[in-house]
Chain A
Amino acid sequence: MRRIWLDLLTERATRELAKRTSRRSFLARVGAALVGTSALPLLPVARASDVPDDAALSGNVGDPKSCDYWRHCAIDGFLCACCGGSQNTCPPGTEMSPVTWIGTCKHPGDGKDYIISYNDCCGQSLCMRCRCTRTEREKPIYFTWQNNDLLWCFGTKSRAVHCSVAVVLGVATKS
């Protein structure tokens, strides 16, 4: 059977790698990566007390595909959870904008206000599923940095907006 180009490419890359590295160094790097990755959750950041407990929520306030989901109190756009991504991640083929609209939403379970970042996912045309318009703490257009009607695909390769995520950055109030 004729080998396809991917096989050839993979073989060539593997042989190149084998020429340049010893098995021992490869294993050492894999080991370091495994240890490093497992250490990440242990880094001394305040987590447990600030992580909202989404698993305890039920109904629309706990459904990332709903406009009523608690993190969506100021979202204006299409929910990435309905577009092949999630409330935290962009769908494949889109790029998360580094410039973002940030506000706070109250978690219905613990009553705390959390800092939410509404990053647009950019690079494809509008998703057109799960359109939401909520305006808590939004300001009129003349406060451009607190207005969510704007396209927020700044700093991305494409200005085309596909959908929006709602990432929790931290807790806004300690009480």
Chain B
Amino acid sequence: MLAIVLWATVATAGEPAVDYALNCQGCHRADGAGTPGRVPALAGSVGRFMHVDGGRDYLGQVPGAALSALDDASLAGVLNWIVERFGGETDFTRYTADEVGRLRKTPLVDVEGVRTRLLARAP
């Protein structure tokens, strides 16, 4: 049954969905639920970063994104896909390869601290 559920999640994949499966899903899981206490959930929280100063940059600087094996264009694509799919956002400025390329040059060190401060200010 688990296999069927997972299959249904990815089978109709376009490129960003495949990039998500291969580079993000192992920890953030197919449904973006994460693992409480270990891996932050994307579902229900990632969209909030788009509504707070610094949140947009955070998503490009977080180590899983900045240090991933994806090139800039693919990372921009998968970030847009994540914000839409797990954040439920449709009306937002899409990430570009140039923007992501700039952001990932300064990956975060105190990830948890930045995340907590951003979410405390986010609507």
Determine if chain A interacts with chain B.
yes
A interface residues with partner B (beta carbon < 8 Å): 40, 43, 45-47, 50, 88-89, 96, 98-104, 115, 117, 139, 143, 145-146, 154-155, 167-172
With A40-B4, A167-B6, A169-B7 already in contact, the answer to whether A46 and B22 are too (CB < 8 A) is no
Q: Interface range on chain B: under 10, 10 to 19, 20 to 34, or 35 or more?
A: 20 to 34
The 8 closest A-B pairs by CB, nearest first: A170-B10, A155-B35, A45-B8, A102-B26, A46-B11, A170-B11, A46-B12, A169-B10
Cβ-neighbour of A115 out of B2, B10, B67 (below 8 A):
B10
Smallest Cβ-Cβ distance to B29: which chain A residue: A98
Residues of A close to B35: CB separation below 8 A: 98-99, 154-155
With A115-B18, A170-B13 already in contact, the answer to whether A43 and B8 are too (CB < 8 A) is yes
With A88-B3, A170-B21, A171-B13 already in contact, the answer to whether A117 and B38 are too (CB < 8 A) is no
* In the assembled complex, B27 has its CB within 8 A of some CB on chain A: yes
Contact B69 A104 (CB under 8 A): no
Contact digits for B64-85, partner A, Cβ 8 Å, 1 yes 0 no: 1001010000000000000000
Segment 7-36 of B: residues with Cβ below 8 Å from A: 7-13, 18, 21-23, 25-27, 29-30, 35-36
Residues of B close to A100: CB separation below 8 A: 26
Nearest Cβ on chain A to B103's Cβ, whole angstroms: 19
With A99-B39, A115-B21, A154-B38 already in contact, the answer to whether A145 and B8 are too (CB < 8 A) is no
Contact B7 A168 (CB under 8 A): yes
Smallest Cβ-Cβ distance to A45: which chain B residue: B8
